[in-house]
């Protein structure tokens, strides 16, 4: 913790005024005002996949209920394995099952996979290029439980791991599409996961949208700003774009659900159109989408005005999630305000 956050930790806390003060620090579903939701899209998609493919098995480290893996456990108990609070064992067992011809989907929290089980993922899964699919809840700032549960650096940790594909889905459509795409991919995949009642966002803006592994897609056009976003920040960017359009500001949103491999061609094609380019991610600004896009631009000699929206390089506070999103610049209000200020 920083000295400032350590001092605040022991200060008397006063809840902010208004309805947000009642929001729990840990919420099961991510709020997205005005959007329809889909219940447990990951669990439902995994069951559908398992019914078509006998190789599919599910594993969890005592978090099946909190990663929607319990849907598979209830529907096909013989295809589910509860490994207990042992994430290193979880990854090693998944690797062993993959070696025996199974197609394992392993779930836990993102902090536990990236921090606690990294070496086991690197040595048992990635080095062997095994088809283990690691799906992790509570990515980035999707919980208010503080640094022990906020996986703000997971993409940076796994971006440097050879053979690993990385997915950061925006919504239910992405999750429903990514599960069969992950299964079809021959190597290991790390996917961030939204659980519970997940908003169905992108198809409102682009009805024919379908997730494609490794491909970025333009969801909304605009002539003044290009937001290159991933995960829940595509949701925020789209809502901010609608708000800014009413002010005469045209914001295009390029959704990048696959962080690695990055769709360099699409990003470069869109970056060369003279707009302010803003990356937006629910992740630290160190080592995530923003730096990946910046490297891509510099290597290609493409030099738009460039800015980044992301989490700071520090351990974050605990608290009510909407309050934290305002504090760290991830809310729709803050995204719109930030883009407006850069123009």
Do 339 and 251 meet the contact criterion of CB atoms below 8 Å apart? yes
Q: Residue 312 has which token pair?
A: 């700071």
Q: Count the Cβ atoms, other than its own, within 10 Å of residue 248.
A: 7
DSSP letter at 194 equals -
Residue 19 is given by DSSP the state G
Residue bearing tokens 């456990």: 73
Question: Cα 115 from chain centroid?
Answer: 16
**Domain 32-199 in CATH 3.40.50.970:** yes
Output the pLDDT for position 33.
76
Angle at 328 between CA 225 and CA 118, to 5 degrees: 100
**CATH topology agreement for domains 32-199 and 214-342:** yes
Structural contact between residues 94 and 132, judged by C-beta atoms closer than 8 angstroms: yes
Cβ partners under 8 Å of residue 10, min gap 6: none
Q: What local confidence, expressed as pLDDT, does residue 8 receive?
A: 52
CATH 3.40.50.920 fits 214-342, yes or no: yes
Q: Peptide bond preceding 282: is omega within 30 degrees of 0, i.e. cis?
A: no
Dihedrals φ, ψ of 317, to 5°?
Answer: -75, 165
Domain coordinates of the chain in residue numbers? 32-199, 214-342
Distance CA 139, CA 142 (A): 6
Tell me what pLDDT residue 255 has.
98
* Nearest in space to 195 (alpha carbons), one of 269, 132, 109: 109
Structure tokens at 63: 């978090």
Note the pLDDT of residue 34: 86
Which positions ≥6 away from 290 have C-beta within 8 Å? 279, 281, 308, 310
Give the model's pLDDT for residue 31.
66
Q: Could you identify the residue written with the tokens 């309805």?
A: 19
- 102 closest CA partner among 126, 80, 73: 80
d(C-alpha 161, C-alpha 157), whole Å: 8
Q: Which two tokens stand for residue 7?
A: 């001092």
Q: Residue 22 gets which letter from DSSP?
A: G
According to DSSP, the residues that pair with 134 across neighbouring strands are 106, 190
Series of mean pLDDT values for 10-residue runs along the chain (343 residues) = 52 41 47 87 98 98 97 98 97 98 98 98 98 98 96 98 98 98 98 96 97 98 98 98 98 98 98 97 98 98 98 96 96 98 97
Using the structure block, give the residue that is written with the tokens 């908003």.
Answer: 199
Q: Are 234 and 209 in contact (CB under 8 A)?
A: no
């Amino acid at each position: 913790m920083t000295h400032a956050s350590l001092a605040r930790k022991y200060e008397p806390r006063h809840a902010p005024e208004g309805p947000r003060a009642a929001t729990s620090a840990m919420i099961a579903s991510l709020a997205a005002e005005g959007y329809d939701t889909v219940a447990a899209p990951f669990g439902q998609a995994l069951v559908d996949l398992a019914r078509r493919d006998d190789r599919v098995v599910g594993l969890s480290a005592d978090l099946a209920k909190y990663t929607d893996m319990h849907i598979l456990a209830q529907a096909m108990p013989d295809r589910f394995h509860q490994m207990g609070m042992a994430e290193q064992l979880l990854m090693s067992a998944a690797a062993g099952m993959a070696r025996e011809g199974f197609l394992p989907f392993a779930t836990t929290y993102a902090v536990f996979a990236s921090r606690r089980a990294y070496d086991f993922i690197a040595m048992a899964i990635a080095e062997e290029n095994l088809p283990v699919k690691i799906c992790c809840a509570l990515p980035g700032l999707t919980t208010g439980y503080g640094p022990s549960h906020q996986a703000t650096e997971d993409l940076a940790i796994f971006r440097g791991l050879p053979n690993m594909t990385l997915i950061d889905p925006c919504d239910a459509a992405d999750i429903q599409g990514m599960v069969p795409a992950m299964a079809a991919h021959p190597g290991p995949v790390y996917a961030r996961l939204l659980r519970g009642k997940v908003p169905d966002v992108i198809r409102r803006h682009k009805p024919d949208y379908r997730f494609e592994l490794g491909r970025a897609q333009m969801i909304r056009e605009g002539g003044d700003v290009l937001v290159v976003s991933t995960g829940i920040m595509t949701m925020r960017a789209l809502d901010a774009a609608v708000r800014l359009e009413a002010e005469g500001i045209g914001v295009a949103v390029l959704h990048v659900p696959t962080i690695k491999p990055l769709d360099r061609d699409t990003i470069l094609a869109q970056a060369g159109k003279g707009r302010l380019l803003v990356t937006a991610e629910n992740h630290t600004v160190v080592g995530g989408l923003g730096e990946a896009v910046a490297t891509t631009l510099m290597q290609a000699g493409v030099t738009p005005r460039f800015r980044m929206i992301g989490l700071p390089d520090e351990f974050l506070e605990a608290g009510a999630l909407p309050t934290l999103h305002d504090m760290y610049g991830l809310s729709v209000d803050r995204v719109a305000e930030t883009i407006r200020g850069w123009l």
